[in-house]
Structure 1
Amino acid sequence: MPKWLNIDNPKLNIAKHSDFIPQKYLPTFSSQPIELNLHRINGLAERFVYFNDDMFLLRPVKRELFFAGKDCLPTDFAITSTISTTTKEDMMPFIKLNCVTILNGHFDKKEQMKKHFSKWVNLAYGWNALRNLIFYGQHRFKGFANNHLAFSFLKSEYEDIWEKEYESLDDTSSHKFRSKLDLDNWLIRYWQLTRGNFYPIGRHVKGKVYEIYNGVEQNQELFKSIENQAMPMICINDNDNVDFEPMKERIKQAFDKILPEKSSFEK
């Protein structure tokens, strides 16, 4: 654990892999088994939000950013898209395709859209609502628009998928390293969307994903977004072609401006 972490904070619950991931999947060096078994964390609420380590809140937010409506459902956007690859080394398109394949084995796209029509053809999506309408007649899902930001989940959706697709999830959880044959927690999200267990919001309501580029000038929009607290949250994605060290200090300065004091989770 980080040396700066105040492990005595009563709001903090530390869950080691061995605390919630079945022993037969351990040790693991892949994020997939971790993400697919989050529902096993002791005391985890039915409604929870999952952040990766490159996601940051920029300002205080209300519960409605993550769960809204009379049924307090996860906020999300159901926008149809297609899956494309950039390089054969990029595993994520293959993993997303695996997730969609599982989905198509359980659901008819046209039937599910008809059942939850107002959640698919929704003004919150802007022009993307028209896109959904154009492809309304398709019976198979081809993909979904995704944002690499914190997502809201229902623990019961995890449990439902594990009950219906145990062998597939068990196989992925058994992989020690990431594989093109994997599933991941995009499947949980797609499952929620397909079943209508979400509250429609605009794609960019929660925030934005920033790629880091070489050179301070190239990242001015990122720095300004942090310092101006321009949106609820951001993801800072450092790709393989960037020398992160020169950017690190400038990003830290931006966060120090809006967060000058230590939180209760820091020593």
Structure 2
Amino acid sequence: MYRKVLPVQGRKAIARRFSPAQRRRVKQRIGAASAALQAVQMRSSAFTATHRAVIARSGATVVTAEGRLRLALPQPQLSPETARRANLAFVTEALSGAGIDYFCIRRQDRSATAVAVSQADRSAALLALSARCGSHPGYLTASAESGRVLAGSRSASWQRFSHADVVRVFAYHTDPGRQLVLGAEHGCDIEFWAAEGDRLTAPRRNSIAESVPAVAGAVEVPVETFTARYGTRDRALLTVRTREEFTTVLPRDVTFPVDAVYTWVDGSDPAWLERRSRFSGATYHAEAANAARYADHDELRYSLRSLDMYAPWIRTIYIVTDDQTPAWLDTSAPGIKVVSHRDIFSDPGVLPTFNSHAIESQLHHIDGLSEHFLYFNDDVFLGSETAPGDFFVANGLTRFFPSPALVPLGPLSADDVPVAAAGKNNRTLIQQRFGTTPVAKMRHMPHALSRSVLDEIETEFAEQHATTASHRFRSSDDIAIPSSLYHYHAFHTRRAVPGDLRYVYRDVAHPHTPSQLDRLLRDRDKDVFCLNDTTSDEADFARSDRLIRTFLEAYFPVASRFERAR
């Protein structure tokens, strides 16, 4: 809407004079004003009487999606999975209410659900769904990518699909603040299967079967079987009907539990600052004790929001801290645990520590941690929906994500920054053990790890492991285990393979970062992104803090279940 209201030259003039945060607020106000005006126009138009009835019956609100006015259902815990669940429930309840037989199927595309109905029941099914749209803000389309969206409240919309093999039915869903809108991409496809002899044949490919017996027993399964088939912490009581074939576990399905681990520090905590001052002193490189390493911009809050929205299959989240707990974190919430350094260090005598390499070396000692887990820094965020298979192979192998950035060749130097020094030390170990020369760094991604491999590293490289754990600050002879050494060791021992996800890294201190974050917010086209800050000093904190918080609140407007009520 901002681009429609203002010409290019006007936008350029505003960009030169105002900060990205100020421009974002202007855009939000323009969008809100436009939506309000459209809502007034909608309410005053005679042809929207049906829309007004749907709003009154469903509690829908007016949003703008694809540049058009739409009705959307507010969801306090909005996520792709909750949107899928609501859309599947709407379709299956309409079919069941009309006495129409159906069965849910597994699609190859995980973002949407699908229901199979006999072609003989197509007219009755469309009629039942059309009737339900008198009190539900339903829409229909041929596809989520390019199909024209039609209002389900109009009978003419359904007539367009009277001979279609597939129709996608969905509602728009939004958060209470109407900042995020989810639509057709999480809808429910109704496939009309053709009767051929004693079998029903699918109109397109799915994950399990091209045809099934026309007459067979049905089974009732939890709705999450199709809306969150990798697992979810938010269980629903709803069940749906399917055939036994579509409950099959495939070789590619990841069935083992996956946990997540964060390391976190509140660098403004007076008690922590006092401990740090007692042990600080000369460090081998200025970056090793840079205040930016410990600055807290509330990234953890928003990284947890990204997991809650885009990875509901995570079983338990562990927050590893120096006896610190964020004031906003609800530690009584199911699925989250705060772990002290004292509980994981083999030698508590090396504590307190302010060295992330040392802390990372002990993560596999967390009591109750699953064999397979993801390790997050709090400045890493999921930008879109993910699945366990993005990080693990179903047979237990982990995936790693090499970076185009390189570890400098040559011996260790006093001028090496900590990440380069650790990379060179890792490389030496891999060269000695396997005869290859790693040069690639790893992306700032969630690191997929297994406890057994980490145990093996601790044993095989015992001297270097213990030395790293003993350093209170980053040192030139540290090794970086979960972010690099693990991946090369696991790859050479045939327990890890390269992966590929849409990713972007943004340095908060870079002058182009504000405009790049604007584009990231607009497009939402990355699976993972990292907002890193290693060079800012205390004087830059206010600017960095404002930039990071404004962007993250806009990207993740829905509070996670791990936050205390405000």
Q: Which moved more, 1:225-234 or 1:27-36?
A: 225-234
2:471: which partner in 1?
Answer: 175
1:4: which partner in 2?
Answer: 328
2:340: which partner in 1?
Answer: 16
- Following the alignment from structure 2 to structure 1, what is the Cα–Cα distance between the partners of residues 547 and 392? 33
Q: Are the equivalent residues in 1 in contact too, given 2:376–2:446 (CA < 8 A)?
A: yes
1:107 aligns with 2:434: yes
Alpha-carbon distance change, 228 to 244 in structure 1, aligned in 2, over 3 angstroms: farther
Q: Which moved more, 1:242-251 or 1:179-188?
A: 242-251
2:452: which partner in 1?
Answer: 156
1:44 aligns with 2:369: yes
Q: Are the equivalent residues in 1 in contact too, given 2:491–2:497 (CA < 8 A)?
A: no
- Following the alignment from structure 2 to structure 1, what is the Cα–Cα distance between the partners of residues 466 and 554? 45
Deviation (angstroms), 1:158: 0.6
Which letter maps to 1:194? H
Alpha-carbon distance change, 240 to 177 in structure 1, aligned in 2, over 3 angstroms: same
1:231: which partner in 2?
Answer: 526
Deviations 1:169-211 (A, max 9, x none): 1111111111001112121222112222123323xx1512111
- Following the alignment from structure 1 to structure 2, what is the Cα–Cα distance between the partners of residues 101 and 232? 32
Deviation (angstroms), 1:218: 4.6
Q: TM-score, normalised by structure 2?
A: 0.38
- Following the alignment from structure 2 to structure 1, what is the Cα–Cα distance between the partners of residues 524 and 404? 30
Q: Which moved more, 1:97-106 or 1:205-214?
A: 205-214
1:265 aligns with 2:562: yes
Alpha-carbon distance change, 175 to 100 in structure 1, aligned in 2, over 3 angstroms: same
1:198 aligns with 2:496: yes
- Structure of higher RCO (CA pairs closer than 8 Å, 6+ residues apart): 1
Deviation (angstroms), 1:253: 3.0
Deviation (angstroms), 1:90: 1.3
- Following the alignment from structure 1 to structure 2, what is the Cα–Cα distance between the partners of residues 263 and 78? 30
- Following the alignment from structure 1 to structure 2, what is the Cα–Cα distance between the partners of residues 208 and 256? 18
Alpha-carbon distance change, 218 to 27 in structure 1, aligned in 2, over 3 angstroms: closer
Which letter maps to 1:108? G
Structure 2 unaligned spans of 5+: 1-324
Alpha-carbon distance change, 231 to 174 in structure 1, aligned in 2, over 3 angstroms: same
Paired-residue identity, %: 25
Q: Are the equivalent residues in 2 in contact too, given 1:238–1:244 (CA < 8 A)?
A: no
1:249: which partner in 2?
Answer: 546
Q: How many residues align?
A: 232
- Following the alignment from structure 1 to structure 2, what is the Cα–Cα distance between the partners of residues 80 and 236? 18
- Following the alignment from structure 2 to structure 1, what is the Cα–Cα distance between the partners of residues 403 and 361? 23
Q: Are the equivalent residues in 1 in contact too, given 2:502–2:525 (CA < 8 A)?
A: no
- Following the alignment from structure 2 to structure 1, what is the Cα–Cα distance between the partners of residues 536 and 555? 29
Which letter maps to 1:233? V
1:88: which partner in 2?
Answer: 415
1:73 aligns with 2:397: yes
RMSD: 2.5
Q: Are the equivalent residues in 2 in contact too, given 1:80–1:143 (CA < 8 A)?
A: no
Matches within 5 A, 1:130-149: 141-149=437-445
Deviation (angstroms), 1:59: 2.5
- Following the alignment from structure 1 to structure 2, what is the Cα–Cα distance between the partners of residues 151 and 2? 23
Deviation (angstroms), 1:213: 3.5
1:131: which partner in 2?
Answer: none
**Structure with the larger strand share:** 2
- Following the alignment from structure 2 to structure 1, what is the Cα–Cα distance between the partners of residues 467 and 513? 42
Q: Are the equivalent residues in 1 in contact too, given 2:401–2:445 (CA < 8 A)?
A: no
Matches within 5 A, 1:48-63: 48-63=373-388
Deviations 1:111-167 (A, max 9, x none): xxxxxxxxxxxxxxxxxxxxxxxxxxxxxx142242122110111111111111112
Deviation (angstroms), 1:241: 4.6
Q: Which moved more, 1:254-263 or 1:83-92?
A: 83-92
1:123: which partner in 2?
Answer: none
2:462: which partner in 1?
Answer: 166
Deviation (angstroms), 1:79: 7.8
Structure 1 unaligned spans of 5+: 110-140
User: Which stretches of structure 1, 4 residues or longer, exceed 4 Å deviation after superposition?
Assistant: 77-82
1:27: which partner in 2?
Answer: 352
Deviation (angstroms), 1:222: 2.1
